[in-house]
Structure 1
């Protein structure tokens, strides 16, 4: 069984491989007790991941690294969040299927200092100065103990029967560089990470609840549900 540290280390390696550095980066576990932690004045990007294993992820960048990353994005008003999203997606996808939220800018000192968070120092080989810091904190998606507050009566359930929820279907993912995205034109084909006929993910408000197969009904697409996940398999 993959341990938590191993899971997070694999995620850190996947992120490091896609960061736009001059040479491949090395991800080294760096506990707060090591004495060096990201400075509060650095630029930080953070994002939530909801899926089979949910997590909070953040990257903190020194000003020199931020400049290099923005230059790697090429000319134009492309934000650091857009440039780094593929790297964050690569890290998140090592945790299993799920949905990555919007990448936002802001301080995340609480995440980096949390004892349940694993922090990784990303450096270029032979360089003692950190190119970036990566923090990842996994969330438990298991079933929760039943409590009186969690017990919902049929009468209370009736109050939310008319609440609308967004049901979406994901047939696959892919990773592309910013340059490739900007080069897309009508008629281009983008390969996804699933074979034809593979089950699609069914998401309810971004939460993975089941799998199904794509069908056509009266010349419109639909999905035939083939599996509904139980509470232990869905996002808590």
Structure 2
């Protein structure tokens, strides 16, 4: 039984790299790149844009004690830029503006340049 297990063992001397046929020109890519696709259909996918004023982590017990007239201090100072989130992910920062009697936002900075291109 020990003789058969010895015959199945790997021996690195048995490897012969000359048996492999390698490509002569290794500088060219081994794949053909696909042509660029028109991705303009992504521009019509709806997303949710949220302007977050501020936030605060509060213990549930403290929140249950809150009632009418209670004040919960938030983590932003007056005048600081607000967070703009797209589908919950931070996109950038903005300030509140009023346009035609409706609230709007004016972008101050954009965190991800690829996401900003979607709004152009």
TM-score range, shorter chain: 0.5 to 0.7
2:86 matched to 1:204? yes
2:65 matched to 1:183? yes
Length-normalised TM-score, structure 1: 0.31
| Structure 1 runs (4+) greater than 3 angstroms displaced | none
Going from structure 1 to structure 2, the CA distance change for 1:189 and 1:222 (only over 3 Å counts) comes to farther
Tell me the alpha carbon deviations over residues 94-118 of structure 1, each in whole angstroms, 9 at most, x when there is no partner.
Answer: xxxxxxxxxxxxxxxxxxxxxxxxx
Size of the aligned set, in residue pairs, is 82
Secondary structure in structure 2 of the residue aligned to 1:186: coil
Secondary structure in structure 2 of the residue aligned to 1:223: strand
* C-alpha displacement of 1:214: 1.6
Tell me the alpha carbon deviations over residues 71-99 of structure 1, each in whole angstroms, 9 at most, x when there is no partner.
Answer: xxxxxxxxxxxxxxxxxxxxxxxxxxxxx
**Equivalents in 2 of 1:231, 1:162: separation in Å?**
19
Length-normalised TM-score, structure 2: 0.57
* C-alpha displacement of 1:200: 0.7
Going from structure 1 to structure 2, the CA distance change for 1:160 and 1:191 (only over 3 Å counts) comes to same
Tell me the alpha carbon deviations over residues 33-75 of structure 1, each in whole angstroms, 9 at most, x when there is no partner.
Answer: xxxxxxxxxxxxxxxxxxxxxxxxxxxxxxxxxxxxxxxxxxx
**Equivalents in 2 of 1:218, 1:189: separation in Å?**
31
Give the structure, 1 or 2, with the largest relative contact order (CA under 8 Å, sep 6 or more): 1
Question: Structure 2: which 5+ runs fail to align?
Answer: 1-32, 115-120
Alignment-derived partner of residue 218 in structure 1:
100
**Equivalents in 1 of 2:41, 2:113: separation in Å?**
22
Pick from 44, 52, 55 the counterpart of residue 170 of structure 1: 52
Structure whose alpha-carbon radius of gyration is higher: 2
Secondary structure in structure 1 of the residue aligned to 2:44: coil
2:111 matched to 1:229? yes
Tell me the alpha carbon deviations over residues 129-172 of structure 1, each in whole angstroms, 9 at most, x when there is no partner.
Answer: xxxxxxxxxxxxxxxxxxx68x853x2x1222221111111121
More strand per residue: 1
